[in-house]
Structures are given as C-alpha cells and as structure tokens.
Amino acid sequence: MRRPTAFPPFPLLAAVCATVLAACASSGEAPAPAPADAASAAIAVPVAAVAHPAGETPQWWYRGGAARAAANGAMAGRAKNVILFLGDGMSLTTVAAARILQGQRHGGPGEENLLSWERFPHTAFSKTYNTDSQTPDSAGTMTAITTGVKSHMGAIAVSAGDRDDCAGSLGQARLTWLQLADSAGLATGIVTTARLTHATPAATWAHAPDRNWENDTDLPPEAVAAGCIDIARQMVATPYGRGPQVLLGGGRGEFTTVEERDPEYDDKVGQRLDGRDLVAQWKAAHPGGAYVWNREQLRAARDAPAVLGLFEPDHMQYDHDRDRNAEPSLAELTAEAIRRLSRDPNGFVLMIEGGRIDHANHEGNAFRALDETIALSEAVRTAAEMTSARDTLILVTADHSHTLNFVGYPVRGNPILGKVRGGGEDGGSADYARDLGGLPYTTLSYANGPGHTGASNRQPAGPKRHLHAPSSMEPSTGRPDLGGIDTEDPDYLQEALVPLKSESHGGEDVGIWARGPGSAAVRGTVEQNAIYHFIVQATPKLRQRLCEAGTCDRNGVPVELPQPVDFMRQR
Ligand SMILES: [Zn+2]
C-alpha cells in the first residue's frame, strides 16, 4: 500500500465524502488492494463553500488548494527533490507551435514532434486568474504557485490587498515552498533568464505588494517609511535559513550601486542609491561561494558550494541573440544548478524560469517566443537526464497565456512561421491560401500588440519588424500583401488585430506536466494555487516541517495557512 507512514492513517473516506467534492467517487467502497494509482490515495479535506469573490480569504485559498491536491493523491508522493520549470507566458498555443518549429528544425514535418516535457506521464490544466483580474499577471500567478494562495495582480508572495499599500502588506507575507525548504534544511536554487528581481523569481523569495519594487530606488517614500524593503535585498538576505545557494539570472543592476561600474558594459553602472553592495552581502552569507557574471566564470566556479550569477545588467539576452561564448544557455544554467544542489544529502528544491517567452510574445514576435520555448525544452531535458524519476519531482508549467493564434488550414509540414499553404477545409493545394481580398496570410498571428499593420510613430504602415515599441499607432487601412515578405525571418512581427504597444496576456488555462514521485496527482482542471500543494504534499520533508508548525489536519495534510515567523531561524 502506498500510504504515508509518518502520519496518521487515512480517514474513513466514506464519512467525509458526503461533505466534500471530487475524488471520493474513485475511492470505492471496500479497501482497495495495493493501489497503483494516486486516485486510490485520495484524502478528503472539507472546504467551506463561500461567496465569490468576497469569501475568498487567504485561508480559504490555501485549504482549497490542499483539498484538491490531497483528493488527487499527492500525499502518496515521496519526493526528495523538486524542480519547478516555469515558462513565463507559455500558452498552450506557444507550446504547440514551438513543438512544430523544433520538429521542423530537425528535418521533420514537425507536427509529430514533442517537446521534452510533453513526454512526461502526467498532465493537468491550470486556471490562472488573479483574485482581482480575469486575465492575470506573472506576479499574482507565481504567488499562487509558490505560496498556495491566490493574490492580486502585481503581488509578490503576499496575499490579496492593495498594490501600493506597504503597511497593509506587512502582515500578509506568505511562506513560499522554497523558503519552507530552506527552513527544513534542504538546498535551494533559483534560475531565470529574466532579472532575478522580476516577478516570477521574486515570488520565490521576496514579499512585496508591488512587483515593481525591484531595487531601493523603485520604492515610494511612504513604502520605505512603512518598512518595506526592495526585492533584490530580500533575495540575498533571508530569515528562513541559508538562503538560495544557487541564484542565476539577469538583473545585475538591481544588486549593485550607482558608484559601481558594470563589469561588462563600460557605459553602465548599478542602479542602487542606498550604497548597499548586495553581491558582497550574498558572499558573506555563503562562505566559499562564487560570484560570476559570464559563462567562463560560471564554468570555472564548478566546485564552489554556492554561486551567484548575474549575467546581464537587465534581463539576459534572448537565446537567439546571445553571444554563445559569453552568456550561458538556460540548459547550461540548469545543469550548473542541479550539479551543485544535488550534492546536498538532504535534497533540494529548484525553480527554473524561461522568463523571456513572455517578453517575445509581448513584443509580438512569435519567432523568439517559440525559440525561447525550445530553449526551455532543452533545459527540461537536461534536468530529466540529470535526475531520477524515483526521487525527483519535476513540474513544468506556465504562469499565464498570451494572444498567439495558430489558425488557418496549412498543409502538413507547412513552415510554422510561414504563410498558409493549402486549400482549406475542402482540399489541399500547394498554393498560398488567400483571404477574401486575395491576400496570403500566416498561420500564426496575435489578437493584439505592436504587430498591427497601421502606421505607427516608429514604423510605416505594413508588416512590422522586431523591435517595435510604438507610443501611437493609426488603425490599419487594410491587410498588407505578404507575398514578398519573409515571415520566417526572426524579426518579422505577426499581424495583430488590435494595436497595442505591448501584446497582452491571455486568460485561458495553461498546462502542467509532471514526472516523478507524486506526479500522478497532477491531473484534471485545477486552480493554479494547487501547484504549491502538489509540491508540499508530495515531499515528506516539506509537509513534515509544515506539520511541526501545527498546520496539518489529523491525516497529516497541511491545511492551515502557515505563519512565516514559525519558519524563521538563526543562521
Ligand atoms: Zn507578461
């Protein structure tokens, strides 16, 4: 029987089934013999029905996520290590198109291909909305994933409140599973291609009501007066344990002062005005740790017990644009992180973000969005090869969707970034399909963004090129003739219906793909905050630490909102 042994046995499911949702149906009447699937490991957690959204308290979100994960059997998990991959803005459409582009790069028609995580055995859909927004942002969504509690747009690991209310946020800090792991003595790491202080990585380690408080100069005076601290500072100093032994990404300027010249770009300095050298502070907290800012230094620091890598003053370069000798790939960063963290006998947790899929989509550039997704696929493949499915839970998900469309009736093997060839529903053709005005069109397009074909204050009417950041745009007077345009060019911007400076997020579900102990619980359509509960329930050391703080029910399921103060410890 795959049952938890460290905690009390399962309840009499039948008794509670009457009051709860889901999962009970699959538990059967008689005790199931040797359950092989997570469904038979279901534990019921009653959740009160509330009015929406008024009744959605942080405790309600937490318990609701716990109930769903437990009903799905996550408590049967025995993970030693956890790796969460986050494709920022990686909509299901982005995944499908990237899969085809990768397949076509390998010489196939493309549709047959699978990205690395699409070979994982377990999948679910994640509902991404924020407490105050139907279509969410990366901060509120990552807060749901890291704390088990949904929150407002812009929230960094605090529960729902006003975005500019520092004082109100101070009692609302929510413990993340990375801080929990640190407190439980596991090794921890964070890797991203964005700034380390950007929304997604920030919500693993910092607490702020506003995602924009990345360095000291970003905080309004009232927030400073009320006691709020910038995100960068929180990333290097932590009350929960050792803090992240691996911090790899961009955002060098957020950690260094204006007095300090950038090591890579002569014309740049750091951004901090408070005189704090956060790199030195991190080094002091990690004796023997290495600070690196390029690929060669990272490789040379292979034996260092801890590493802080800041590879760009801002976000790291797109994989397509990076200097391959100077800047490591996401797969390389992944390998360096796992190599170090896996030395810890207590196990490790690691968050790895493909942070720029989102940026390319915002810029209306499908090429880079798909290319970044393929880079993430390589990183996930690396992690899957370096770890064992017997002891390491790997989850791959996105925080939210985008407006990328994959439409028309292109023939099999048609270049995914190309113009549609094919005769539509009525039969195939080698010629370009035409709209009713006689013009060809591409398979991929955006519902909104800077790819709109009207004239802007930056580029003339017609197809737009990357990087297009207009501040004003005229309505398009008609579709451009793409006959002579190479839409597979990396800098081509797909047509966008509604002219916006920045293409927007989308509100539909994203995927969750999972492998390893506890991954069988990842199924169905779940609220995004259930991801936290999949992780803590499937990892005995994490749920044990939560139980020690008195947050578990009689079945050992963490159901009560943990108070961060209970997890702080002296260095
Ligand atoms: Zn975004």
Mean pLDDT to the nearest integer, 464-491: 97
Which of 265, 375, 379 minimizes the C-alpha distance to 313?
265
Q: What is the DSSP letter of 305?
A: S
Question: Rounded to the nearest whole angstrom, what is the distance from the C-alpha of residue 505 to the centroid of ligand 1?
Answer: 6
Question: Rounded to the nearest whole angstrom, what is the distance from the C-alpha of residue 563 to the centroid of ligand 1?
Answer: 30
pLDDT value, residue 37 = 54
Mean pLDDT to the nearest integer, 132-148: 98
Is the pLDDT confidence value at 193 over 70? yes
Is the pLDDT confidence value at 247 over 60? yes
Is the pLDDT confidence value at 174 over 80? yes
Question: Rounded to the nearest whole angstrom, what is the distance from the C-alpha of residue 280 to the centroid of ligand 1?
Answer: 31
- pLDDT grade, residue 427 (50/70/90)? low
Question: Rounded to the nearest whole angstrom, what is the distance from the C-alpha of residue 362 to the centroid of ligand 1?
Answer: 7
Mean pLDDT to the nearest integer, 321-350: 97
Q: What domains, with CATH codes, occur in the chain?
A: 71-403+506-567 (3.40.720.10), 429-503 (no CATH)
Is the pLDDT confidence value at 31 over 80? no
Given 138, 183, 377, 456, which residue is catalytic? 138
- pLDDT grade, residue 429 (50/70/90)? low
What is the spatial distance between Cα 113 and Cα 333, in angstroms, rounded to a whole number?
Answer: 25
pLDDT value, residue 34 = 40
Mean pLDDT to the nearest integer, 213-223: 98
pLDDT value, residue 425 = 61
pLDDT value, residue 88 = 98
Question: Rounded to the nearest whole angstrom, what is the distance from the C-alpha of residue 51 to the centroid of ligand 1?
Answer: 30
Contact 494, 446 (CB under 8 A): yes
Task: Extract the annotated binding site for Mg(2+).
Answer: 88, 198, 200
pLDDT value, residue 69 = 98
504 is catalytic: no
pLDDT value, residue 428 = 57
Tokens of 324: 């391959």
Contact 49, 64 (CB under 8 A): no
Residue at token pair 């939560």:
546
pLDDT value, residue 345 = 97
pLDDT value, residue 430 = 75
Is the pLDDT confidence value at 10 over 80? no
Mean pLDDT to the nearest integer, 459-476: 97
Contact 317, 327 (CB under 8 A): yes
**Model pTM above 0.85:** yes
Strand arrangement, sheet containing 122-127: 290-292, 307-310, 246-250, 187-195, 348-354, 81-87, 392-398, 510-515, 122-127, 525-527
Is the pLDDT confidence value at 492 over 80? yes
- For residue 96, what is the enclosing H or E element? helix 92-105
Mean pLDDT to the nearest integer, 295-315: 97
- pLDDT grade, residue 39 (50/70/90)? low
CA dihedral 472, 474, 476, 481 (to 10 degrees): -70
Helices (H), 365-456: 366-386
Comparing 30-39, 242-251, 334-343, which segment has the lowest mean pLDDT? 30-39
| Ion ligand 1, residue ranges at CB < 5 A | 358
- pLDDT grade, residue 424 (50/70/90)? low
Higher per-residue confidence, 423 vs 298: 298
- pLDDT grade, residue 265 (50/70/90)? very high
Is the pLDDT confidence value at 16 over 50? no
What is the spatial distance between Cα 386 and Cα 350, in angstroms, rounded to a whole number?
Answer: 13
Mean pLDDT to the nearest integer, 146-170: 98
pLDDT value, residue 28 = 35
Task: Extract the annotated binding site.
Answer: 88, 198, 200, 353, 358, 362, 399-400, 505
pLDDT value, residue 65 = 98
How many CB atoms are closer than 10 A to CB 134? 8
Angle (nearest 5°) at CA 387 between 384 and 393: 80
Question: Rounded to the nearest whole angstrom, what is the distance from the C-alpha of residue 134 to the centroid of ligand 1?
Answer: 14
Backbone CA torsion sign across 138, 143, 146, 149: negative
Distance of CA 183 to the CA centre of its chain: 22
Which of 537, 566, 554, 555 minimizes the C-alpha distance to 66?
537
Task: Extract the annotated binding site for Zn(2+).
Answer: 88, 353, 358, 362, 399-400, 505
- pLDDT grade, residue 317 (50/70/90)? very high
Is the pLDDT confidence value at 17 over 80? no
**498-522: pLDDT as tens digits:** 999 999 999 999 999 999 999 999 9
pLDDT value, residue 570 = 58
Question: Rounded to the nearest whole angstrom, what is the distance from the C-alpha of residue 219 to the centroid of ligand 1?
Answer: 21
Mean pLDDT taken over the chain = 93
